[in-house]
């Protein structure tokens, strides 16, 4: 077989087994004597638990709750903070909070036990929205505080904003809002816990096996290595399986410590929608100073709804603030970020990780400023682009050549942007819109060096090579990407490189599969391992393990959030054309054109798939994916009332990949999985504004909300 | 729970009379309503009778006088693919759910489920479709509009099965059908509207409309339609406001009322303006 070359177009290594139904997902695993578990969940958003009245438990059935956590253990799922409890104890803080776990041989009996348990609550006034949290409705949710600000930060550069506003020709203040978004990964959440020797083993659908291990071990006061996590083939995640699997694994582990039999818990679709993390809703106000046709300053107040527990929210908020000036060089700025505690299901990671909210807001704001100035939004935005060496909002610098002009030229030509922009005008039912965006690759600042210190390993056995890393395939194509990097560096066929799903007792910790870091960071470590292995190829069987090496010249101070927030950015430009049915407000997307700069595409087919999916997911976010929360309860709980786009909803996309090799990534590659989600929403809304002749401040915008926007304008 | 699988219609009607077992055909509503979660059998509150095998209830045919007869077990796919079926029904059937659902869901089930958002009752009511309800003791005919009395409510007796849907030939020059789904495919209806117009010698001989997902059941109003029927095309434009206002009064949407009312009004107005401007006979969306 021929050696694989990095530019070969190859079939994904997991495609056949998944298409044939051979891939084994967690619900496909069965163990001798396996029991089934279901959660008893809070039905109140904020309440004290007065009593839990259990039905009579038949023989062989168990109820596991906080009381089952041993004395030396802690009732906490360690994520970034420790506030998220494994089991609610004494009170509940959101609808769906785990109170206990029923376990037994028959799923039907287990379910009837859940249904027949009566929990008596003393309800308290709950706090659901960002506005509720600002008003500290029902009193602070946070211990020892008198507000609901769970986390906060600010960034500033240039002059004091009061001075800047005095100097301006025009000051524009606008507020934007974005909604919840559900991940709708094809495979719902699920896990199985069992024992092997004196260790616990958890089979689980997840992005980050080492996160799960770290999160749950302290429940039983176990050393980390006594909990083994085996990632099962994972059918999609989008961030919804970054921290959330801990919420399944924790209670299961406690149950296992009492019951000592294999226990399985699989969420059905409604459970997975109603009782899982979501994208943070946001409310973002910009007050901007405009002078001589330029945006000279922004004062931004950025509020994210974090839900009841911190989870990853502070990091999400940081990324939101760091992306809040978009791809623009705005000389003066002050950006205040507030993560608000509420009684909703905790918000958590979702493709884009906080960046999409602020990028949407700044893009719409820029569009509105351009229109007020009488300039085509594309031209106004182009006049403000960041350039190499330009200062970021964290007083860091853009390290790469910014190629947005070339990228825009490509799609402007393909879409005939300027002609359509002129001809469609404003309020004619047709519109074309444009957006620009970026996404900082990998962990914030020096996190890769200071926090993660990723390791990855290659193991040679005869002529075969095995990849050992904690990074996971979740549908994004990483098993193919990493095999390709290893094979092409070693100059061997990809078929000779194996990459099993990670098992924490076998592989080194490569950090989470998140933050668009896998190709850029772990891919680079594997490339370095392969380079050494190639030189030593004749030595027989051996392994090469490497640690992440931080490139020089990226200063960062995590205490002040100053310096280079990211090691490099991916960049994007999108144009969307729409036509609206003025009778029904149904929007037809007539064309989608994007260009993305991701360093280098390791595999063009996979990158193309990511672009298609990310762009459609972003258009769904803007147009139809509406999830409302009433009194702490999500209103949309099935795939028929929370709809995501089908292939019928949007046309085929034109895509362009801009090469701009990145010196610290494998073969010049940067992160890209999130970038492709970050901007099509704003291009769509720009086009829609032009079509309806009214400004847009809020997404999602299904036809009934367009009706309201038209009426209120 | 008892589940019966009769081999012919007579046996089915006997079981129905004796046990009141609920007839289940495609199961695309009932199985979903009864599901209990992964690894747990669906739980039905009543006995169930699987009628999918009954050949007496299958097929689509046209009788000598032009009456279209659709067996209650005809699937949405069969209906959508049959050119003899009147346009709005065919179109509505083609937009139900996804392919797999359309291959399974039946017209009888869609009517009996009586969801205000159901796709087929709306055009059936436009066309004054009637149902044949069979029981072991008798057979009766009833208009679909009288059969469905509210959200999820019908007058089906506990010994009856929907045997077939009958639609007399309709004279029409213009048809309109529009479904606003939550998305473009595999979507539940947010709002739907059918219109039928028959123009002869410059006179609007017949005019009907039917609104789905606009209240507790499909909405039609002969009184409102009479405002337009018999009018010369040249006078239609001056009656649009009167008609659309009368139509608006019969709608009773709970959710998104403003959107449903205004969209209905605009679709009706738009169609009537086209008609008054002498639009060619044909199909409009």
Q: How far apart are CA B2 and CA B44, in angstroms?
A: 9
Distance from B108 to chain A by nearest Cα, in Å? 22
What stretches of chain B show up as alpha helix (H) in DSSP?
Answer: 9-19, 30-34, 76-81, 87-94, 99-102, 107-113, 121-126, 144-147, 222-226, 233-236, 240-250, 257-276
**Are the Cβ atoms of B38 and A268 closer than 8 angstroms?**
yes
Share of chain A above pLDDT 70, in %: 100
β strands within A342-429, DSSP E: none
Distance from B166 to chain A by nearest Cα, in Å? 31
The closest CB to that of A584, out of B182, B183, B267, belongs to: B267
Q: Name the architecture of domain A353-444+566-712.
A: 2-Layer Sandwich (3.30)
Check pLDDT > 70 for residue B124: yes
What is the average pLDDT across A458-486?
97
Check pLDDT > 80 for residue A578: yes
**Are the Cβ atoms of B183 and A645 closer than 8 angstroms?**
yes
**Are the Cβ atoms of A108 and B36 closer than 8 angstroms?**
yes
Say if residues A267 and A260 touch (Cβ distance below 8 Å): no
Chain-centre distance of CA A712, in angstroms? 33
What's the N-to-C CA distance of chain B in angstroms?
46
Contacts of A559 (CB under 8 A, 6+ apart): none
Q: Which of A468, A490, A489 has its CA nearest to residue A479?
A: A468
Q: How far apart are CA A622 and CA A700, in angstroms?
A: 4
Residue A358's pLDDT is what?
A: 98
Residues of B with Cβ-Cβ distance to A271 under 8 angstroms: 37
Contacts of B45 (CB under 8 A, 6+ apart): none
How far is the CA of A12 from the CAs of A8, A260, A609, in angstroms?
12, 39, 11
A713 confidence band (pLDDT: 50, 70, 90):
low
The continuous run of DSSP H or E covering A265 comes out as: strand A263-266
Q: How far apart are CA A52 and CA A44, in angstroms?
A: 14
- Best mutation target, B28, B29, B31, B37, to test chain A (most A CBs within 10 A): B37
**Are the Cβ atoms of A584 and B182 closer than 8 angstroms?**
no
DSSP A225: G
Within chain B, all domains assigned CATH 3.30.465.10 are found at 3-167
Q: Which of A482, A478, A153 has its CA nearest to residue A318?
A: A153
**Are the Cβ atoms of B41 and A583 closer than 8 angstroms?**
no
> Domain ranges in chain A?
15-23+448-547, 31-124+183-274, 353-444+566-712
Q: How far apart are CA A690 and CA A52, in angstroms?
A: 56
Residue with tokens 């071990």: A217
**Are the Cβ atoms of B180 and A707 closer than 8 angstroms?**
no
The closest CB to that of A646, out of B38, B185, B190, belongs to: B185
Nearest-Cα residue of chain B relative to residue A645: B183
Rounded to 10 degrees, the C-alpha dihedral B46/B31/B140/B10 comes to -70
Residue A251's pLDDT is what?
A: 98
Distance from B90 to chain A by nearest Cα, in Å? 19
Residue A385's pLDDT is what?
A: 98
How far is the CA of B88 from the CAs of A385, B157, B172, B176, B283, in angstroms?
52, 29, 12, 7, 9
- Strand B22-24 relative to strand A47-53, pairing: unpaired
Contacts of A612 (CB under 8 A, 6+ apart): A653, A655
Within chain B, all domains assigned CATH 3.30.390.50 are found at 174-284
Topology given in CATH for the domain delimited by A15-23+448-547: Aldehyde Oxidoreductase; domain 4 (3.30.365)
B1 confidence band (pLDDT: 50, 70, 90):
confident
Q: Which of A506, A531, A511, A536 has its CA nearest to residue A455?
A: A511
Check pLDDT > 90 for residue A384: yes
Say if residues A472 and A501 touch (Cβ distance below 8 Å): yes
Say if residues A459 and A468 touch (Cβ distance below 8 Å): yes
B47 confidence band (pLDDT: 50, 70, 90):
very high
- pLDDT tens across A40-78, in order? 999 999 999 999 999 999 999 999 999 999 999 999 999
Q: What is the 3-state secondary structure (H, E, C) of A407-449?
A: HHHHHHHHHCHHHHHHHHCCCCCEEEEEEEEEEECCCCCCHHH
Q: How far apart are CA A352 and CA A594, in angstroms?
A: 17
Specify the range with the lowest mean pLDDT, choosing from A53-67, A174-188, A606-620, B36-50: B36-50
**Cis-peptide into A700, omega within 30 deg:** yes
Count the neighbouring beta carbons within 10 Å of the beta carbon of residue A134: 16
**Phi, psi (5° rounding) for residue A84?**
-75, 115
**Are the Cβ atoms of B39 and A711 closer than 8 angstroms?**
no
The closest CB to that of A266, out of B38, B184, B270, belongs to: B38
Contacts of B116 (CB under 8 A, 6+ apart): B151, B212, B213, B214, B215, B216, B217, B218
Residue A674's pLDDT is what?
A: 98
Say if residues A414 and A593 touch (Cβ distance below 8 Å): yes
The closest CB to that of A643, out of B36, B41, B187, belongs to: B187
The closest CB to that of B259, out of A36, A640, A704, belongs to: A704
Residue with tokens 């990158």: A607
The average confidence (pLDDT) of chain A is 97
Contacts of A274 (CB under 8 A, 6+ apart): A96, A633, A634, A637
**Angle at alpha carbon of residue A7, lines to A6 and A9, rounded to 5°:** 110
Q: How far apart are CA B268 and CA B244, in angstroms?
A: 7
Same fold, A15-23+448-547 and A353-444+566-712: yes
- Measured N-to-C along each axis, helices A604-623 and A680-692 cross at an angle, to the nearest 10 degrees, of 40
Q: Is B94 on the interface with A (CB under 8 A)?
A: no
Contacts of A370 (CB under 8 A, 6+ apart): A376, A377, A379, A380, A381
Q: Which of A116, A134, A155 has its CA nearest to residue A324?
A: A155
Topology given in CATH for the domain delimited by B3-167: 3.30.465
Q: How far apart are CA B114 and CA B149, in angstroms?
A: 8
Say if residues B221 and B247 touch (Cβ distance below 8 Å): yes
What is the average pLDDT across A589-602?
98
Q: How far apart are CA A667 and CA A607, in angstroms?
A: 15
The closest CB to that of A111, out of B36, B182, B263, belongs to: B36
Residue A712's pLDDT is what?
A: 80
Residue A1's pLDDT is what?
A: 82
**Angle at alpha carbon of residue A328, lines to A327 and A332, rounded to 5°:** 135
Q: Is B266 on the interface with A (CB under 8 A)?
A: yes
Q: Name the architecture of domain A31-124+183-274.
A: 2-Layer Sandwich (3.30)
Pick the CATH number of B174-284 from 1.10.357.140, 3.40.50.1010, 3.30.390.50, 1.20.970.10: 3.30.390.50
Q: How far apart are CA B174 and CA B88, in angstroms?
A: 11
């Amino acid at each position: 077989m021929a050696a694989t070359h990095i530019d070969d177009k190859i079939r994904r290594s997991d495609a056949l087994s998944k298409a044939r139904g051979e891939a084994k997902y967690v619900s496909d695993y069965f163990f001798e004597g396996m029991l089934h578990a279901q959660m008893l969940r809070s039905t109140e958003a904020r309440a004290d638990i007065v009593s839990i009245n259990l039905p009579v438990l038949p023989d062989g059935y168990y109820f596991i709750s906080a009381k089952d956590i041993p004395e030396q253990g802690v009732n906490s799922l360690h994520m970034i903070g420790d506030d998220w409890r494994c089991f609610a104890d004494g009170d509940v803080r959101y609808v769906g909070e785990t109170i206990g776990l029923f376990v037994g041989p028959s799923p039907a009996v287990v379910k009837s036990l859940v249904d027949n348990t009566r929990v008596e609550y003393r309800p308290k006034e709950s706090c659901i929205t960002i506005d509720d949290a600002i008003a500290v409705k029902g009193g602070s949710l946070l211990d020892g505080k008198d507000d609901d600000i769970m986390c906060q930060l600010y960034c500033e550069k240039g002059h004091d904003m009061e001075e800047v506003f005095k100097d301006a020709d025009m000051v524009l203040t606008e507020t934007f809002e974005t909604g919840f978004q559900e991940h709708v990964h094809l495979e719902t959440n699920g896990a199985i816990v069992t024992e092997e020797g004196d260790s616990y083993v958890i089979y689980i659908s997840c992005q980050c096996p080492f996160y799960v291990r770290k999160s749950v071990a302290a429940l039983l006061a176990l050393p980390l290595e006594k909990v083994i996590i085996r990632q099962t083939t994972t059918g999609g995640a989008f961030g919804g399986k970054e921290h959330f699997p801990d919420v399944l694994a924790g209670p299961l582990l406690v149950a296992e410590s009492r019951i000592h039999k294999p226990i399985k818990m699989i969420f059905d679709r409604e459970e997975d929608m109603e009782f899982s993390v979501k994208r943070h809703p946001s409310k973002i106000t910009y007050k901007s100073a405009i002078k001589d046709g330029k945006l000279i300053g922004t004062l931004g107040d950025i509020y994210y709804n974090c839900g009841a527990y911190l989870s990853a929210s502070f990091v999400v908020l940081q990324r939101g603030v760091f992306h809040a000036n978009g791809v623009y060089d705005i000389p003066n700025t002050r950006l205040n970020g507030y993560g608000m505690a509420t009684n909703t299901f905790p918000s958590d990671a979702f493709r884009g990780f906080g960046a999409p909210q602020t990028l949407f807001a700044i893009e719409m704001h820029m569009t509105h400023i351009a229109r007020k100035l009488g300039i085509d939004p594309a031209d106004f935005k182009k006049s403000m682009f960041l350039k190499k060496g330009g200062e970021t909002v964290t007083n860091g610098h853009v390290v790469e050549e910014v190629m947005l002009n070339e990228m825009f030229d490509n799609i402007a030509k393909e879409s005939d942007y300027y002609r359509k922009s002129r001809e469609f005008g404003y309020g004619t039912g047709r519109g074309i819109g444009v957006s620009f965006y970026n996404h900082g690759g990998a962990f914030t600042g020096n996190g890769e060096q200071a926090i993660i210190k990723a390791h990855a390993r290659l193991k040679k056995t005869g002529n075969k090579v095995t990849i050992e890393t904690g990074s996971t395939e979740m549908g994004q194509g990483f098993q193919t990407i990493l095999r390709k990097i290893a094979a092409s560096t070693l100059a061997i066929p990809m078929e000779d490189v194996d990459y099993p799903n990670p098992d924490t007792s076998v592989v080194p910790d490569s950090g989470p599969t998140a933050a668009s870091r896998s190709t850029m960071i772990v891919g680079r470590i594997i490339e370095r391992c392969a380079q050494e292995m190639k030189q030593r190829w004749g030595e027989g069987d051996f392994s090469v393990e490497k640690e992440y090496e931080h490139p020089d010249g990226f200063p960062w101070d995590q205490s002040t959030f100053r310096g280079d927030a990211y090691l490099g950015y991916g960049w994007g430009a999108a144009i969307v054309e729409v036509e609206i049915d003025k009778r029904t407000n149904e929007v037809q997307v007539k064309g989608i054109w994007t260009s993305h700069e991701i360093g280098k595409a390791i595999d063009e087919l996979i990158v193309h798939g990511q672009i298609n999916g990310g762009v459609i997911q972003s258009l769904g976010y803007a147009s139809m994916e509406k999830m409302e929360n009433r009194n702490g309860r999500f209103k949309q709980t099935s795939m028929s009332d929370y709809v995501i786009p089908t292939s019928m909803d949007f046309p085929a996309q034109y895509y362009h990949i801009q090469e701009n090799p990145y010196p610290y990534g494998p073969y010049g590659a940067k992160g890209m999985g999130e970038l492709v989600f970050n901007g099509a929403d704003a291009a769509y809304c720009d086009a829609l504004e032009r079509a309806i002749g009214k400004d847009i401040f809020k997404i999602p915008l299904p036809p009934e909300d367009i009706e309201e926007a038209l009426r209120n304008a | 729970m008892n589940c019966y699988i009769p081999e012919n219609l007579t046996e089915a009607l006997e079981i129905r009379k004796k046990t009141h077992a609920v007839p289940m055909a495609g199961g695309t509503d009932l199985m979903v309503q009864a599901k209990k979660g992964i690894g747990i059998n669906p739980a039905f509150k009543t006995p169930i009778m699987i009628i999918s095998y009954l050949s007496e209830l299958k097929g689509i045919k046209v009788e000598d006088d032009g009456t279209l007869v659709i067996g209650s077990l005809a699937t949405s796919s069969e209906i959508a693919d049959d050119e003899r079926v009147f346009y709005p029904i065919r179109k509505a059937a083609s937009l139900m759910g996804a392919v797999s659902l359309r291959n399974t869901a039946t017209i009888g089930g869609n009517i009996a489920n009586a969801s205000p958002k159901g796709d087929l009752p709306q055009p059936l009511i436009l066309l004054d479709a009637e149902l044949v309800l069979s029981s072991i003791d008798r057979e009766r005919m009833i208009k679909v509009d009288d059969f469905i009395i509210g959200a999820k409510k019908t007058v089906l007796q506990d010994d009856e099965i929907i045997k077939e849907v009958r639609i007399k030939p309709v004279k029409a020059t213009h048809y309109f059908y529009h479904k606003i789904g939550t998305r473009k495919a595999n979507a539940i209806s947010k709002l739907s509207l059918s219109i039928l117009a028959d123009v002869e010698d410059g006179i609007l001989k017949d005019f009907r409309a039917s609104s789905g997902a606009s209240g507790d059941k499909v909405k039609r109003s002969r009184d409102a339609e009479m405002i337009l029927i018999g009018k010369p095309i040249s006078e239609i434009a001056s009656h649009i406001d009167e008609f659309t206002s009368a139509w608006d009064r019969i709608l009773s949407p709970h959710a998104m009322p403003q959107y449903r009312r205004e969209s209905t009004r605009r679709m009706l107005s738009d169609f009537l303006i086209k008609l008054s401007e002498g639009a060619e006979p044909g199909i409009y969306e």
